[in-house]
Chains A and B, each alone.
Chain A
Amino acid sequence: MTRLTVVDADRCVGCQLCMFACNRRYGEGGLAKSAIRVRSVGGFERGFVVVACRACPDPPCMKVCPVDALEQRRGGGVVLKARKCIGCHRCSEVCPVHAVFWDDEANKPDICVHCGYCVDYCPHEVLAMKESEQL
């Protein structure tokens, strides 16, 4: 099973094309449903942090979900069963790397499914898909 990996955040120029790509999976513009985020370290002069799901083998987000809307994904991470989700935000609050984002319009978490769509749109080789076992 492969998963999304941030291979070199120092190469990131902050263009956010990965974020737009993630959102485009839904055929939409903007960033509302993006499950990956890029922000500056604290001002553009210091570079960027790429915040993405680590595909935890034992995901804290899943463990705190009160309605079992998050299920273990093979190879790490979780899969969202949107119909079960009650929008309580616990998953996003517990994630230690803040990689569970929020779709305000749908009131559901934006969960990375490790599809790798964003990788194809990173022009600067910051992201890659790698086998979980290699990491």
Chain B
Amino acid sequence: MRLPTRVLIADLSARRFTVEDRTDLFQYYIGGSGVAINLLKEYCPVGADPLGPDNPIVFAVGPLVGLYPLASKTVAMFKSPLTGNLGESHAGGRSAVAIRSAGYGAILIRGASDTPVYLSIDDKGVQFRDASGIWGIASSVTTGRIIRELETGAGTRTIMRIGGAGEHLVRYASVITETYRHFGRLGLGAVFGSKKLKAVTVSGNHGFDVSNKKFYRETYDDIYKRAVESPIMKKYHDIGTASNIMPLNLQKGLPTMNLKMTTSPEAEHISGENLAENYLGRRVACAHCPVACIHIAALREPYNKEPYFYKTTMIPYDYELIYGLGSMVGVFDEKAMLHLIDDVEIWGLDAMSTGVVLAWATEAQDKGLITQNETLGLTLKFGDEPAYAKAIEYIVKQPNEFYLALARGVDFASKRYGGEEFALAFGGNEMPGYHTGPVSHIGHLTGSRHSHLDSAGYSIDQAALKEKLADAKVVAAKLLKEEAWRQVLSGLVVCFFARGIYDKETVAKALTTAGHKITSEALEGIGMEILREKNHFKEREGFKAKELRIPKRIFETDSSLGKVDEKYVRDSVEEFYRLLYA
């Protein structure tokens, strides 16, 4: 049985590569997050500059990739230039299957190049290609189009690339893959930019054998059947993640205008239903995923002065983007919102961070903490899309100290200019789109990535709409258990949307066919161990749970469950960290 155990190490400084077999890591830590955190600890020196050559980038896949549906994700790990500690971001597209088909379990990129470079990776190793001719192309879309023509492997390759934001080291720049998927969070794009790395393409044509062909096909059919018949999967296919806008708006949990509000009568315009009925142009899937949750709007618009001259722009939308660049900045005109999503897509920025930063700047200007001197003449107002579009351009190009501060994230900007009480970041990472109650924020505070996907606190809040919310300590234990289990899923690497399908027994069965000998009982323990490793790295790099800043705004604005009780949040966070190290 061939587990994906080979690690390709590309050194940008030396322009050399090596391949190491790391069966030790893949056998014990499964793959994905578990392997990536160990490689990160090994290769990232303590206190390394996140934008220096010492910061490695790890892309890791897992043993179920290429074997089973919905095992479609790649885990990226690096030291985050946004938070200064753990950088972890997941993306699908073709990336995971491409990496495994090229014969690798992980790809590690270290060092830095003096001149722009892109990497072309296949089973023979790495070609270091000159990218000086494409450096400075601000659009991630154009960059993708150019490299598509230069490289082989159409249909099964991945093209991960950055836009202008990554080149200009915006601390929340993203890496885009296959046009519509992103390593969005925590600034991988800036790490690419700091290494003068414009893109990485990976392609390959290796197959992978299994332990028992008949049992493999049976296990496959069981998973496949459950995937296509599951109502949750249908929800993600039909309207997509954007289907969450209306329920959250109704429950008063949709962060609106810098979380001054949690609901708006205008939310319907940016709802998944409206977008699906009037704009949806295409649905796309990651490799090996029957769901096809990627929703792309076709926005047909006339050019200003020429009659009958139209352009149609294809713009991907998801719940978090609509929150970040719609409700959070008060842009409820769906076309205006789609424009902002398109901007962020082209520059290669994290949509959530961008939205939160803009929302903070809007309120800061309104309160007089900053003036037009800082904004370079812009008056930022909720809903004003053209002003936001210009501000986004300034964030990328950083023409003055203020925009330089915005490009470092809302934590940094609010420390410098004030307004920390309404600077909505947790652990240095800008908040995702949930003000469903205390548990969403406890999750943002305690999650190793400070993201909604770490432990899905919002779902505990939403369950509490029907029955009483459990005690703070009980909730902490629940979140910890969930986050530990998610380390197993991100080891395989299975999309979190499929978490209902990949239960413990299914995972153990699938792992057997892949050549692993991990029992279902052992899985949870391994997940917890990986989570501890991740938190250990964070502490090593200076993270202190006790110093977590909690923006006051979350205690002021009513959530779906009413006022969020500060003591409850603090008690639960304390309990979480006590249990984590118990």
**Set of chain A residues within 8 Å of B67, measured between Cβ atoms:** 29-30
Q: How large is the interface on B (under 10, 10 to 19, 20 to 34, 35 or more residues)?
A: 35 or more
| Cβ distance A117 to chain B, nearest Cβ, rounded Å | 10
Q: A16-B287, A17-B290, A28-B210 are in contact. Are A39 and B282 (CB under 8 A)?
A: no
Q: A24-B220, A27-B217 are in contact. Are A45 and B292 (CB under 8 A)?
A: no
Contact count A vs B, C-beta below 8 Å? 103
**Quick one: which of B208, B213, B228, B282 contacts A30, CB cutoff 8 A?**
B208
A32 at the binding interface (Cβ < 8 Å)? yes
B208 and A29 form a contact (CB under 8 A): yes
Stretch with Cβ within 8 A of A (4 or more), from B9-17, B148-156, B330-338, B468-476: B148-156
A38 and B155 form a contact (CB under 8 A): yes
Interface string of A37-80 (1 = CB under 8 A from B): 11110111101000000000000000000000000000000000
A26–B287 alpha-carbon span in the complex (Å): 20
A30 and B178 form a contact (CB under 8 A): no
B69 at the binding interface (Cβ < 8 Å)? yes
Residue of A nearest to B98 (CB): A31
Residue of A nearest to B69 (CB): A17
A29 and B148 form a contact (CB under 8 A): no
Q: How large is the interface on A (under 10, 10 to 19, 20 to 34, 35 or more residues)?
A: 20 to 34
B66 and A15 form a contact (CB under 8 A): no
Q: Which parts of B144-169 form the interface with A (CB within 8 Å)?
A: 144-145, 148, 154-156
B434 at the binding interface (Cβ < 8 Å)? no
**Set of chain A residues within 8 Å of B141, measured between Cβ atoms:** 43
**Set of chain B residues within 8 Å of A124, measured between Cβ atoms:** 292
A1 at the binding interface (Cβ < 8 Å)? no
| Cβ distance B98 to chain A, nearest Cβ, rounded Å | 10
A31 and B290 form a contact (CB under 8 A): no
A105 at the binding interface (Cβ < 8 Å)? yes
B55 at the binding interface (Cβ < 8 Å)? no
Q: A17-B290, A44-B179 are in contact. Are A31 and B284 (CB under 8 A)?
A: no
**Quick one: which of B101, B145, B217 contacts A31, CB cutoff 8 A?**
B101
A37–B292 alpha-carbon span in the complex (Å): 17
A31–B180 alpha-carbon span in the complex (Å): 22
B314 at the binding interface (Cβ < 8 Å)? yes
B224 at the binding interface (Cβ < 8 Å)? yes
B302 at the binding interface (Cβ < 8 Å)? no
A47–B179 alpha-carbon span in the complex (Å): 12
* Nearest 6 pairs of A and B residues by beta carbon: A27-B213, A39-B155, A32-B207, A15-B285, A29-B67, A13-B292
In addition to A20-B69, A23-B207, A31-B97, 20 A-B residue pairs with Cβ atoms within 8 Å of each other are A16-B97, A20-B66, A24-B220, A27-B216, A28-B209, A29-B67, A29-B207, A30-B67, A30-B208, A31-B156, A31-B205, A39-B154, A39-B156, A40-B154, A42-B148, A43-B144, A45-B180, A102-B205, A103-B205, A123-B290
